[in-house]
Chain A
């Protein structure tokens, strides 16, 4: 049962040709999905590839290597723009999972409740995909296409995320039925840029309330020029037609829809604050 541990991207891409081998990152989605069964017969571990791990400045923004762990995100020196992403990183399962689980893994697993996705959507993240034929980039919002579905083609590797430079401050709120190790009922990430006491721009994304986490462009467009109190009210009054929450073991659809409005309002307010309160809501 081979486990390949390539140290270069080219070697990894070559190992993945033929479609037999399965990509392994931190293992925090792959192993649980086996449901106690035996692992795939051939795996390619991407965590030792040069340049796939770590966060760096890149042109007009930041590059987050695909194999960067959530702990690395938490510990990275980053501007307030990333506060939402960092808060989300701290909510990924547990310390154990944050130490192993990777950013690319969270995206490629494409769970509707993936903790990392709303914050990255709110940051306008782009994904970089590598194939033997070359690299391509696309917005994260295009990359994830449905529950457990992405535009990653066989043999391709999500090598990095790019976050464009922006001013503003991030926030993230996760709603669950217990404090740690919890799958979200709903979660919201916001990036807000203030101009004095008014909102200059706001970017909002919601997870666990639709097949794929969604940005809220219509609401975002209405917020510029509003005070935070007005923006919060707008969030509470908004209908959230982008979302299609479901009933599941964690909560009912109606509750999710209502809770999202509260969470968006609070996330806006929190992202506008310079002194943060603890972001956990449940």
Chain B
């Protein structure tokens, strides 16, 4: 070792400052930078070089700090995102470009992306899409679909920032700058330096019984502060998200039901945990069942759920059996998809501290109020005794709705009265967090001689894993959505969620609808082929229009915009087909194909109350505060909700101070899921802005047309040439405030699933162009064109960001992703798309309005990925003549399909 730094210390230059920090020289540099040098802009996503989030420049070269021994950095120059943006002209330009392009969504990969990009900018290499991709290929992003990141690097310049604006304006993300300058703080970034660490003891078997040794002796001998087991739960050892289905224990009692399930937690200093002896638990592996086949005869996971059926869903309309028998053309098929991991780059993390008789939990989350209620139940506390302080959330996509890390830190901090933290390892995150449900679908579609859909029968079996989580939602949603956005007069759809000994399947962008679309949209291609119809024309003929009943009998008199999506795609479709035909005429080894698919999605909860509340006020000093509790997990709620509120109130967004989320100060804006925040919380924000405006105008006694100006510590109203000053009374709280709620109008479904489950549906259709290497089965995507009816684009740039990110996840679903319990528990065996796997995406934004949405806006988040996978699969079939029924369409699967179709010789 160099003698430049004192024993036990390492000296290096961090962002231009020479520092010496106490550090173990064999420790990971990422850990030393974060914990000793305060550089929490260095993110840890995998500790294995698989994600690149921890990328720093080491003597100018990008490296993963998680794989560098801290001692190897002795005497080196280290640069991180925060230091670069603060002190490097290239990086500052890049940061501005990231803002302009909204290249950061959640922001967790942004440090790695920007640091890698700075190295490229400094290299003087030509900036092309290829050179940018090569330079950034080692950093994974799960939100953006990479296209805006590529655009931002190519455009790193001092161009003017985006203009401000209200509804309809592509303004910069209001919380964007902190994401691009390295100051954003995620789940593990806010952990107090003196916090103890929790480590969870988990089952190594899919199913096992277990017994503990002498825990108190173990605790003493290993200098641990605390050991927690089910015996230490003061409230109920049970949590869940659907009333009546709260079935998951914090710590298993006697038997574990999936590999990775928690049985205990140890709490201590990082040093104590690093040196800890093996935890005294004896396991006995028990017979397990991992798929729905055989689950009906396996030991019941939950005694009250016969045949291991969690629940079923059913929607029926007309007479599907009779109509099918009379159909001129019928196609049917079996399709399946596997477990899909959310793959956010930020693993679950939380910290907690006890404040008197209250517990405060800081965590990355999509559902602070549900977290609060869950923690209160587990700890036997009143709701008011629990405070959830969401940090920035580094991607969620559904899995950060459920409680994960929070109960452990809350319990430990409560008992010890000391701050406690936990950050999941990547393996822990993948092994134990919820997943997209694996699906097995049998579907049958009939049409009349003219090509009109006459009947659909759908039977979907979903592996819901060991616990219910959001499984009931999937079981309910799928039969409502399995028709796709098409007129289907005779319809019968069944679904079942089956318990197995796997990680719980829960919420994941689309709640089962992407899986049913894989079956439905592929069968529509087969049917169009049988009918000799163009695949787009066939869909256009059958798609829902205003006034048409859906499969639940719901009729939308306005805003059913799927026809407009198909019409917008038509010229792209014709061009793509012609280009593919030309290419294929002169190429044998590689074949091009074009696919199309559509999707729809009902925004918000299914047929139950789903309110959001937004509060705003003006302080006596004239500061306008928006209590914004709709958690922004990267999708842009902080910006969208503020734009809507500003529009309704009639002030520029720049005058609004955003507060929260914090369950103590922001009212419940519900969970960030089901594409509900823009629609539901957006409506609450609109109502709140309008109510506040009415109060202000009333105080000034001016007309509805008056202009509100916040200035000089007060409010000036301008109305028809006159100006009125509104006096703000001194007050402890707000001088003027408004609180408004919105709950979507829905109706319960009857025994046949008939009713109005959602007030708003969004629709979308996408085209995929690709090229297949016939001999290898590899698929190269060339282009995606995505037409989305969003009702009204509150912020078109955010809409594009959602589309591109959803498409990227759809690509992963189609081509490479599958979680195999116990096998793909890291990010090199579980593959998500890299920057080189997402082709150019053209977004066609359709604004057909909506009767209920704020300014006509609909939700969008889930819709984006629903059509992508079937569009890809349909394009593969078009290119090769081979249809892939069982995902993912990895090269070997595609090649097998090509051989089976007889075209692979």
A residues with a Cβ closer than 8 A to B are: 1-5, 24, 26-28, 30-32, 34-36, 38-43, 45, 47, 71, 90, 93-97, 99-100, 175, 177-183, 185, 249-252, 255-256, 258-259, 262-263, 281-282
Contact = CB atoms under 8 A, between A and B. Distances in A.
Tell me the dominant secondary structure on chain A's binding face. loop
Nearest to A182: B831
B892 A185 contact: yes
A269 to B, nearest CB: 11
B137 A251 contact: no
Contact of A175 (B25, B48, B140, B776): B776
A258 B427 CA distance: 33
Nearest to A6: B1
B605 interface: no
Contacts of B275: 38
A36 B835 CA distance: 26
A281 B69 contact: no
A31 B837 CA distance: 27
Contacts of B2: 5
A257 to B, nearest CB: 11
Interface of B: 1-2, 24-28, 47-50, 52, 55, 58, 61-64, 66-72, 74, 116, 119, 133-135, 137-140, 274-275, 425-427, 773, 775-778, 815-816, 818, 820, 823-824, 828-829, 831, 833-837, 890-892, 895-896
Nearest to A259: B776
Given A94-B139, A100-B67, 11 more contacts: A5-B71, A34-B47, A94-B138, A97-B49, A97-B138, A178-B831, A179-B133, A181-B137, A185-B891, A259-B775, A282-B891
B64 A178 contact: no
Q: Which 5 A-B pairs have the closest CB atoms?
A: A94-B138, A179-B836, A180-B137, A255-B892, A3-B71
A43 B816 contact: no
B138 A181 contact: yes
A36 B427 contact: yes
Contacts of B70: 3
Contacts of B140: 181
Nearest to B271: A38
Contacts of A183: 828-829
Contacts of B895: 255, 258-259
A193 to B, nearest CB: 26
B823 A249 contact: yes
A185 B52 CA distance: 22
Given A32-B47, A178-B816, A185-B892, A95 B68 contact: no
Given A180-B138, A180-B834, A45 B816 contact: no
B835 A180 contact: yes
A86 to B, nearest CB: 13
Q: Which of A90, A96, A281 has the most CB of B within 10 A?
A: A96
B80 to A, nearest CB: 14
B1 A3 contact: yes
Contacts of A47: 72
29 contacts: A2-B26, A3-B1, A3-B70, A27-B69, A31-B28, A31-B66, A36-B426, A39-B28, A40-B26, A45-B69, A94-B49, A94-B52, A94-B139, A95-B119, A95-B135, A97-B67, A175-B778, A177-B816, A177-B831, A179-B137, A180-B137, A180-B834, A180-B835, A180-B836, A181-B50, A249-B818, A258-B895, A259-B892, A281-B773
Contact of A251 (B67, B119, B133, B891): B891
B34 to A, nearest CB: 15
Contact of B52 (A28, A39, A90, A96): A96
Contacts of B775: 259, 262
Contacts of A5: 1-2, 71-72, 74
Contacts of A45: 69, 71-72
A262 B777 CA distance: 11
Nearest to B779: A282
Contacts of A251: 890-892
Contacts of B816: 177-178
A252 B824 CA distance: 16
A96 B138 contact: yes
A3 B72 contact: yes
Contacts of A71: 61
Contacts of A177: 815-816, 831, 890-891
Q: Which of A30, A43, A258 has the most CB of B within 10 A?
A: A258
A178 B52 contact: no
B57 to A, nearest CB: 10
Contacts of B71: 3, 5, 45
A244 to B, nearest CB: 17
Given A94-B138, A97-B138, A178-B816, A255 B425 contact: no
Given A175-B776, A181-B50, A96 B835 contact: no
Nearest to A185: B891
Contact of B61 (A27, A99, A181): A99
A93 B137 CA distance: 9
Nearest to A280: B836
Nearest to B134: A95
A21 B236 CA distance: 49
A24 B69 contact: yes
Contacts of A175: 776, 778, 891
A258 B177 CA distance: 51
Contact of B116 (A32, A95, A258, A262): A95
Q: Which of B49, B829, B896 has the most CB of A within 10 A?
A: B49
B52 A249 contact: no
Contacts of B47: 31-32, 34, 36
B274 A38 contact: yes
B72 A95 contact: no
A27 B1 CA distance: 17
B768 to A, nearest CB: 17
A252 B63 contact: no
Contact of B62 (A1, A42, A95, A250): A95
A24 B70 CA distance: 12
B117 to A, nearest CB: 11
B69 A181 contact: no
A237 B79 CA distance: 53
B116 A181 contact: no
A4 B25 CA distance: 9
Given A31-B28, A178-B816, A259 B66 contact: no
A172 to B, nearest CB: 15
B67 A32 contact: yes
A39 B26 contact: yes
A8 B139 CA distance: 35
A28 B537 CA distance: 52
Q: Which of B26, B27, B68, B116 has the most CB of A within 10 A?
A: B26
A222 to B, nearest CB: 21
Contacts of B818: 249
Given A95-B135, A175-B776, A28 B67 contact: yes
Contacts of A185: 891-892
Nearest to B74: A5
A147 to B, nearest CB: 16
A39 B891 contact: no
B62 to A, nearest CB: 5
A41 B27 CA distance: 10
B349 to A, nearest CB: 14
B422 to A, nearest CB: 13
Nearest to A100: B63
A31 B66 CA distance: 7
Contacts of B891: 175, 177, 185, 251, 255, 259, 282
A28 B69 contact: no
